[in-house]
Amino acid sequence: MPTTHALHCRTKIVATLGPVSSDYETIRDLALAGADVFRFNFSHGTHEDHAARHAIVRRVEAELGEPIGILADMQGPKLRVGPFADGKVTLKPGASFRFDLSEEPGDETRVRLPHPEIISVAKPGSRLLMDDGKLAVVVEKVGPDWLETRVEVGGVLSNHKGVNVPDVTLPIPALTAKDRRDLDFALGLGVDYVALSFVQRPEDVSEARSLIGERANLLVKLEKPQAMDNLAAILELTDAVMVARGDLGVELPPENVPLAQKRIIRMARKLGKPVVVATQMLESMISAPTPTRAEASDVATAVFDGADAVMLSAESAAGQYPREAVQIMNRIIWRIEQDPEWQASMAIARLAPEDYVADAIASAAQQVADTIKAAAIVAYTHRGATAFRIARERPLCPVLGVTPTHEAARRMALVWGVRAFVSDERKKVTSVEEMVETAQDVVAHAKVGSAGNSIVIAAGVPFGVAGSTNLLRVAKIP
């Protein structure tokens, strides 16, 4: 078992837990290998499974002494065809095929589509994709409870395969009854982020926000073309976003997905919202001990684009090499972040500050730190907002977020370049002198810099008041 923590990268790693990674030893190995946030996929497993994983993650967090974030990923509305009498059929290109609401098992001419919402909004010319886009049909006629289609891309269609409808906005909520039960359970556990699946409209985000409140940060998964059409409004309402390239890659042409990824990252960074790039990053490592060179380049591209985090799905949840997948992802990130061209690209892509005091302080902290080659920026932050703002500036030195709550520290685990520390409630900062002393203690604990190096401190006066970032100070490491 490894005994030392991986090198701290600026770009974070989200690792999904599943059947092969639910025991203490494996979860500890993944954390030591470089995982900053663990994803619980509520499409699989029971509440008891997730509760057991949650307890182990918190045990590992206490033993390692560093905050670990937990992301609860809601399943969302899954659209599927019904069953077939023989379990499957072969759809031939050019053939007619009907979708209806009949409960009779399907055959080579028709199948049940238990989603009247699709029938209600489909129009002639609408495309339906099945089995992750492997099959495609085009609607020719629409009836009150049926769709007559022509097979465009044929193949084998079996029981309960998924259906995607990329051309229309479906009148279905992003949170199903199952999601609401799962959400209530996850919030009761005390997860740090909740991921909302299959978002189409800003209203989907508002609904989830009303249920979550301040109990967790909200992360929107962008996997529908309709969400891309409403991107600006959705980003304003969420705390973080995910480029969910699986379903997004089914509903968008493949050549459009890289452009969508760059657009999402660019807009999220402008707003200071953490952005995660996910799906198939090291897919071959589900069954191989090393990734393909194309996968390594994919991870590197996300790092160059300025993503806050990259995510492993089946690689760490069900693959044969979960620890190795995290290790190689960490190595790729570390290597890219040491490259002078990457550092130059971060400087070129740096954004102008917004016109309010806290953002001006964050921008100034980055400029001062880079100018004087500071060992670290120490950000005093009550709920994490100051650290989020400074991370938006992509400084080259570490950002050490100091917060009075474990909840805020864990939420910062997803944020680019930020290492979070929970301050001692018995040593509340009440003066500038105490602020400097505590910052020096945090830098020593983080093992960054050496005696005589400068540190930049961002805080707010009066101390301990959320949202009051208005002070910048330079100090020396004693």
Residue 259 to residue 256: CA distance in whole angstroms: 5
Q: Are both 237 and 326 inside the same structural domain?
A: yes
Task: Go through the chain and tell me how many residues it has.
Answer: 478
Residue 332 lies in a domain: yes
Global pTM value = 0.94
| 262 tagged catalytic | no
Residue 344 lies in a domain: no
Residue 411 lies in a domain: yes
Give strand ranges (E) for 372-417.
Answer: 376-380, 399-403
Residue 106's domain comprises 80-164
Q: Are both 366 and 389 inside the same structural domain?
A: yes
The candidate with the shortest Cα–Cα distance to 243, out of 222, 273, 213, is 222
Instruction: Give the pair of three-digit tokens for residue 294.
Output: 């194309």
Residue 3 lies in a domain: no
Q: Are both 246 and 180 inside the same structural domain?
A: yes
Residue 4 lies in a domain: no
Q: Are both 60 and 199 inside the same structural domain?
A: yes
Instruction: Give the pair of three-digit tokens for residue 222.
Output: 């962008």
Residue 222 to residue 389: CA distance in whole angstroms: 22
Kindly report the backbone phi and psi dihedral angles of residue 277, in degrees, each rounded to the nearest multiple of 5, phi listed first: -100, 125
Task: Find the CATH number of the domain harbouring 95.
Answer: 2.40.33.10
- Contact yes or no for 80/163 (Cβ under 8 A): yes
Q: Are both 370 and 422 inside the same structural domain?
A: yes
Instruction: Give the pair of three-digit tokens for residue 168.
Output: 């229309």
Task: Find the CATH number of the domain harbouring 436.
Answer: 3.40.1380.20
Residue 369 DSSP symbol: H
Residue 345 lies in a domain: no
Q: Are both 420 and 463 inside the same structural domain?
A: yes
Q: Are both 233 and 302 inside the same structural domain?
A: yes
Choosing from 28, 53, 110, 221, the catalytic residue is 221
Q: Are both 311 and 414 inside the same structural domain?
A: no
Residue 283 DSSP symbol: G
Which of 130, 164, 198 is at the close of a domain? 164
Residue 89 lies in a domain: yes
Q: Are both 92 and 111 inside the same structural domain?
A: yes
User: Would strands 69-73 and 399-403 be described as parallel, antiparallel, or unpaired?
Assistant: unpaired
| 39 tagged catalytic | yes
Choosing from 12, 39, 201, 269, the catalytic residue is 39
Residue 1 lies in a domain: no
pLDDT per residue, tens digit, the chain (478 aa), is 344 567 789 999 999 999 999 999 999 999 999 999 999 999 999 999 999 999 999 999 999 999 999 999 999 998 999 999 999 999 999 999 999 999 999 999 999 999 999 999 999 999 999 999 999 999 999 999 999 999 999 999 999 999 999 989 999 999 999 999 999 999 999 999 999 999 999 999 999 999 999 999 999 999 999 999 999 999 999 999 999 998 898 999 989 999 999 999 999 999 999 999 999 999 999 999 999 999 999 999 999 999 999 999 999 999 999 999 999 999 999 999 999 999 898 888 887 777 778 888 999 999 999 999 999 999 999 889 899 999 999 999 999 999 999 999 999 999 999 999 998 765 778 888 999 999 999 999 999 999 999 999 998 877 777 767 788 999 999 9
Which of 310, 338, 366 is at the close of a domain? 338
Q: Are both 147 and 193 inside the same structural domain?
A: no
Task: Find the CATH number of the domain harbouring 314.
Answer: 3.20.20.60
Choosing from 279, 386, 438, 469, the catalytic residue is 279
- Count CB neighbours of 281 within 10 A: 23
| 279 tagged catalytic | yes
Choosing from 78, 80, 178, 180, the catalytic residue is 80
Q: Are both 149 and 207 inside the same structural domain?
A: no
Q: How many domains does the chain have?
A: 3
- Contact yes or no for 162/79 (Cβ under 8 A): yes
Q: Are both 288 and 307 inside the same structural domain?
A: yes
Which of 338, 369, 403 is at the close of a domain? 338
